[in-house]
Structure formats: C-alpha cells, structure tokens
Structure 1
C-alpha cells in the first residue's frame, strides 16, 4: 500500500493530527478511518521518534522539515503538527 497523497495539507496554518506507532517494522503513513497513522522504526526516547515522524510527514506533505511544528503531544502517541 502506497503512502497517501498529503500535498493538500501544505497550506500555512494547517494542523495535522496523527497517531504515532514507534518501533514499527517499517516507516509508513496510512490513512485509517479518516485519521492519519504514522509508523516509525525509531524508538521513542530523547525525541528520536518525533524527529522521525517530522522527517516522514514533511516528505509526504511536500514541505521542508523546518516548516512542521509539533504543537501537541510531545510525549504522547497522539500528536498535532502545524505547517508554518
């Protein structure tokens, strides 16, 4: 299954809620029941998983990593990113 096309979310101010699964078997983004699920192989320590999510999400949305800001959920599986 290919990652969903998220380029429509590249507008400034768009908030992107995601559910993160760390320590997955592979990096992937899937749309399940209208919600975005992000799977990363990285472990959730010292912000490594958050950095991996930003990298994967920025590629899918089509914006540089510096234009994505984590606004909620720094230590939670449920996170909200904002496009700057």
Structure 2
C-alpha cells in the first residue's frame, strides 16, 4: 500500500493530499513527500479551494460528491480527505500516483 492513502476499518480510504490552490488548471501533480500533490484552479478564498478539491476528487474517482469529505486541513495545504466506495486498485491507478 502506498503511503499517501490508508484504509479505515470501515472500508473507506483516507487520502493524504498536498494542495496547490490558484494553479492554472486542476490536476494530479505526482507525489509530494508522503502525500499526493493536487493542483487546483480554484483560489484559496472562502472555502472555494476545499469545495473544488472535494468535487475534483469525486470526479477523478468517478464517485458522487457525497462520498468525499474533508477530514482535516480546513485551512492548510496539507489535507486528509475521506473517500467511501472506492477500491485500492482505483487509487493506485491515478495518474502520477505511482511516481
């Protein structure tokens, strides 16, 4: 198992993410230490980047938005996102996640 995600006892996954808000376009940018780096087009203002992050992760994993929630890091670039209804092979297949 990769260091940037772990599975909880209930089967959900917690993803360690490093966020770069205000990027030219949104996308996965590879690993940043023990976190997956995600660039977001949204600015870090009034929770817009957090909302964009949750929507982006849901879209990336082909899940409903309700399956993705912010567990920690509300005002930090280092965030932990909880994802329900995804399997480990899908996480491991993310672009640049295996770098």
TM-score by length of 2: 0.67
Bigger mean CA deviation after superposition, 72-81 or 38-47: 38-47
Return the alpha-carbon distance in structure 2 between the equivalents of residues 32 and 48 of structure 1: 23
Q: Which residue of 1 aligns with 2:13?
A: 14
1:12·1:83 contact (CA, 8 Å) conserved in 2?
no
Say which structure, 1 or 2, has more relative contact order (CA 8 Å, 6+ apart).
1
Q: Which residue of 1 aligns with 2:61?
A: 61
Give runs of aligned pairs for residues 31-46 of structure 1, distance below 5 A: 31-32=30-31, 35-46=35-46
Query: In the superposition, relative to structure 1, how do residues 54 and 60 fare at CA in structure 2: closer, same or farther (>3 Å)?
Result: same
RMSD (Å), alpha carbons? 2.0
Q: What secondary structure is seen at the aligned counterpart in 1 of 2:24?
A: coil
Q: Which residue of 2 aligns with 1:26?
A: 25
Q: How many residues align?
A: 75
Instruction: From the CA coordinates, give the structure whose radius of gyration is larger.
Output: 2
TM-score by length of 1: 0.78
